[in-house]
């Protein structure tokens, strides 16, 4: 799907890193300790001079390095980074303005005739007489509020006590609301 004028450049960077597996690390440490113990036993038992001691030490170092090579299993990790660049020539776009005709909205008046009138709809409904009390109290929190207080609207129906007289709540040891009743006016 190449467009006209599209060019691609691909660069690859390859890096190789040697990674040692540390699965058998404890085994290699124990092998090192065993080789040191064997070397010390040979030096104590055989009483060798300095030249032979260095030769035995070199031998054990070579043996241990070969063991390490196989125990730690070196692996080569190859990392390939590829970067691709693409250049695309954009086509030239011409803008053409077309005048759209404007539609004019005309309002048309229509007369509506009602043929059948429902007499049921014309009757006024009876207005319900719902008593409104000046004070609302909570039997759960034992506090009372004015009807307009926002806290009185949060009281559940089962805990609501309604009355027009504040003395009713004072007799029953209700506490007044701090927001609506004990509110002090700021000057």
> Domain ranges in the chain?
18-75, 135-176
Lowest mean pLDDT among 44-48, 116-120, 124-128, 139-143: 116-120
Q: pLDDT tens digits, residue range 76-123? A: 778 888 887 777 777 778 887 777 777 888 888 888 877 766 665 666
Cα 169 to Cα 124, 137, 161: the distances in Å are: 39, 7, 9
3-state DSSP: the chain helix, strand, coil percent, rounded to 5? 35, 20, 45
Stretch among 34-43, 54-63, 81-90 having the lowest mean pLDDT = 81-90
Residue range 67-78: mean pLDDT, rounded: 78
Q: Which backbone phi and psi does 167 adopt, to 5 degrees?
A: -65, -30
Section 9-22 average pLDDT = 78
Q: Which residue has the tokens 């699965």?
A: 23
Q: Which residue has the higher pLDDT, 177 or 9?
A: 177
**Sign (positive/negative) of CA torsion 105, 110, 116, 122?**
positive
Would you say the pTM of this structure is higher than 0.75?
no
What the block records as the tokens of 121 is 């709809």
Task: Please count the residues of the chain.
Answer: 187
pLDDT for the residue numbered 25: 79
Give 157 or 120, the one with higher predicted confidence.
157
Name, in order, each residue with C-beta under 8 angstroms of 3's C-beta and a sequence gap of 6 or more: 88, 89
pLDDT at 150: 92
- Please determine, for residue 1, whether its predicted confidence score (pLDDT) is greater than 50: no
């Amino acid at each position: 799907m190449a467009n006209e004028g599209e060019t691609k450049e691909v660069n690859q960077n390859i890096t190789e890193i040697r990674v040692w597996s540390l699965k058998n690390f404890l085994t290699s440490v124990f092998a090192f300790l065993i080789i040191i113990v064997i070397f010390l036993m040979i030096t104590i038992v055989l009483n060798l001079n300095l030249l032979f001691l260095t030769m035995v030490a070199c031998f054990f170092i070579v043996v241990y390095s070969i063991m390490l090579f196989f125990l730690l299993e070196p692996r080569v990790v190859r990392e390939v980074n590829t970067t691709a660049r693409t250049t695309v020539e954009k086509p030239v776009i011409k803008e053409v303005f077309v005048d759209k005709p404007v539609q004019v909205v005309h309002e048309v008046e229509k007369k509506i005739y009602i043929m059948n009138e429902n007499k049921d709809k014309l009757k006024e409904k009876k207005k319900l007489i719902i008593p409104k009390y000046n004070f609302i109290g909570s039997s759960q929190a034992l506090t009372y509020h004015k009807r307009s207080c926002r806290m009185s609207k949060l009281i559940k129906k089962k805990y609501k006590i309604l009355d027009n007289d504040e003395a009713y709540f004072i007799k029953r040891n209700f506490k007044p609301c701090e927001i609506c009743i004990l509110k002090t006016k700021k000057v």
